[in-house]
Amino acid sequence: MDITGLNKKELTELIQNPPVDLGVEAVRVKTEHYGNRVFARGLIEFTNYCKNNCLYCGIRLGNKNAVRYRLSKEEIIKCCERGNELGFSTFVLQGGEDTKYTADDICDIVFSIKNLYPDKAITLSIGEKSREEYKMYKSAGADRYLLRHETADDVHYNRLHPKNMKLSDRKKCLYTLKELGYQTGAGFMVGSPYQTSAELAEDLLFLKELQPEMVGIGPFIPHCDTPFGEFSGGGIENTLTMLSLTRLMLPKALLPATTALATLDSENGRKRGFMAGANVVMPNLTPKIQRENYSLYNNKASSGNEDAAEIEHLREEISSIGGVLDMSRGDHCSFN
Ligand code: 5AD
């Protein structure tokens, strides 16, 4: 099933009436490029300070109830050491847009991890920065960068974000990251307030244009201390449909079964993500005490993933659906 030539109207219809075998088709396409492997990345949520005020997000500047924390370089390295013991070959350093860390601080952190583990891949996910900063991080050793576009529709973007944030800036950052040679991740929420199927179709068309190596897709989940606290959340079915369609749009992409998906269905959310075409999982290596404060939305899944037993559990979960947990770097197949 080739959807790469469909126009916005056709994609909209597909989103509204997905074929019953969409997930099967998505898994087939994924298997052609990555076999049955599911790649693990160790996630380190190193700061929940943020200068932005995105209306959906629990760690927005305006949320005075958020309990803020940031990890020191030494604490971050401890997380990596633990991750190394558990067998991870790649770390994702994610945080709010925390102005306390200068570009030099970030470079120092990346460089120190790379120095300790030259063969491991490092992903940054710290928001919109200048081209120069992105370049500095790359020189320090960063391999990949995640920056969700959130929604590819201008009007919708403006309803989710304060006036000082622009979709054009976000897109410009993504193109810069691609140009600089990062394996680049875009992504969006499904079921965010005011979203329509036509806007989700635009997300697919934007992905086709950008050709990111990774795409993070998860349901919107309301957070009570945000302006969107009273909205209903995104559904699991729609999220799985968008995962599968993204797989068909970008057959070689690395697509995580996200924490937000696992939050909606704690029993089977991740598995259903893999069965819809996802091939990445990001266990959390953030120290337990801080973890619950990285509260992007309510009831965020927060199992003790840094535990070896949890990794075994994940391994079993993946093998129960015919997959195999892969702890290698898991680069995009065009980067090998
Ligand atoms: N529900 C779901 N996802 C959210 N994110 C932020 N707030 C929410 C929410 N309320 C997502 C955004 C962001 C990523 C780190 O988490 O897409 O890019």
213 or 309: whose pLDDT is higher? 213
Question: Which of 297, 298, 300 is the best mutation target for the ligand 1 pocket, counting ligand atoms within 8 Å of the beta carbon and taking the most?
Answer: 297
**Tokens 């898994």 label which residue?**
27
Rounded distance from Cα 233 to ligand 1 centre (Å): 12
Q: Note the pLDDT tens digit of each residue in 70-103.
A: 999 999 999 999 999 999 999 999 999 999 999 9
Does the Cβ of 294 fall within 6 Å of ligand 1? no
The whole-chain average pLDDT of the chain stands at: 96
Does the Cβ of 200 fall within 6 Å of ligand 1? no
Closest CA to 30 of 202, 196, 311, 249: 249
Q: Note the pLDDT tens digit of each residue in 310-327.
A: 899 999 999 999 999 999
User: Of all atoms in ligand 1, which is nearest to the CA of residue 226?
Assistant: 10
Does the Cβ of 217 fall within 6 Å of ligand 1? no
Task: Summarize the confidence of residues 121-128 as an average pLDDT.
Answer: 98
The domain locations on the chain are 8-329
pLDDT band of 252, cuts 50, 70, 90: very high
Q: Note the pLDDT tens digit of each residue in 172-215.
A: 999 999 999 999 999 999 999 999 999 999 999 999 999 999 99
313 or 147: whose pLDDT is higher? 147
Does the Cβ of 30 fall within 6 Å of ligand 1? no
Q: Whose CA is nearest to atom 2 of ligand 1?
A: 220
pLDDT band of 30, cuts 50, 70, 90: very high
Does the Cβ of 11 fall within 6 Å of ligand 1? no
Task: Summarize the confidence of residues 147-155 as an average pLDDT.
Answer: 98
Does the 8-329 domain belong in CATH 3.30.230.10?
no
Does the Cβ of 149 fall within 6 Å of ligand 1? no
